Amino acid sequence: MTDAVEIRAARPEDAGELLRFVRLLAVYEKLEHTVVADAATIARHMFGPRPAAEAALAEIDGRNVGFALFFSTFSTFACAPGLYLEDLYVEEEMRGRGIGKALISWGARLAVERGCARYQWSVLDWNVPARDFYKSLGATETPEWIGVRLEGEALARLAAKG
């Protein structure tokens, strides 16, 4: 185990730390070439007048060692809100000490407090350690659902047609 892990909601002054974790996660996922975020965009989109997401930071002895980023969803079938865990990252040397579990648990409490019908996330198919970790928490994979998205030029093209 480790020293006491404190989980707290991220604040506007944490934008730089959130960016650091986003970059570390991107390196881990071999996607660093896709990161366009900077501290200013994080501050604007997470702490501005209409926040699109929120985050939690994991601290040990006042040092940030991990983060989780969430946003609200809605289930039409359950007719209830949901919480989506977009990103979770714990510094490599700090893994296996309960920090990831503490961050996910923090989100679970948030979901319950908000009356959410579900708390969900995606995981890369090759990330077996993460998949095994999530299963150990009681999470189930939903293989019948395939992620799809529009971005960049395709998004702009479709928007222009509407």
Burial 137-148 (b: 16+ CB within 10 A, else e): eeeeeeeeeeee
Q: What is the pLDDT of residue 8?
A: 98
> pLDDT category, 146, cuts 50, 70, 90?
confident
119-146: average pLDDT: 94
What gap in Å lies between CA 60 and CA 28, rounded to an integer? 22
Locate the domains of the chain by residue range.
5-161
Per-residue model confidence (pLDDT) at position 159: 95
What count of other Cβ atoms lies within 10 Å of the Cβ of residue 33?
7
pLDDT-derived band at 3 (thresholds 50, 70, 90) equals confident
- Which pLDDT band holds residue 117 (cuts at 50, 70, 90)? very high
Catalytic residue at 89? Answer: no
Of the candidates 84, 89, 119, 134, the residue annotated as catalytic is 134
- Looking at residue 2, its pLDDT comes to 47
Instruction: Please say whether the structural domain 5-161 has been given the CATH code 3.40.630.30.
Output: yes
The pTM for the full model equals 0.91
Q: What is the per-residue pLDDT across 22-72, written as a single tens digit (0 to 9) for each?
A: 999 999 999 999 999 999 999 999 999 999 999 999 999 999 999 999 999
Percentage above 70 pLDDT, the chain = 98
Nearest by Cα to 88 from 74, 73, 61, 108 = 108
- As a whole number of angstroms, the distance between CA 72 and CA 119 comes to 9
Whether 78 shows a pLDDT value over 60: the answer reads yes
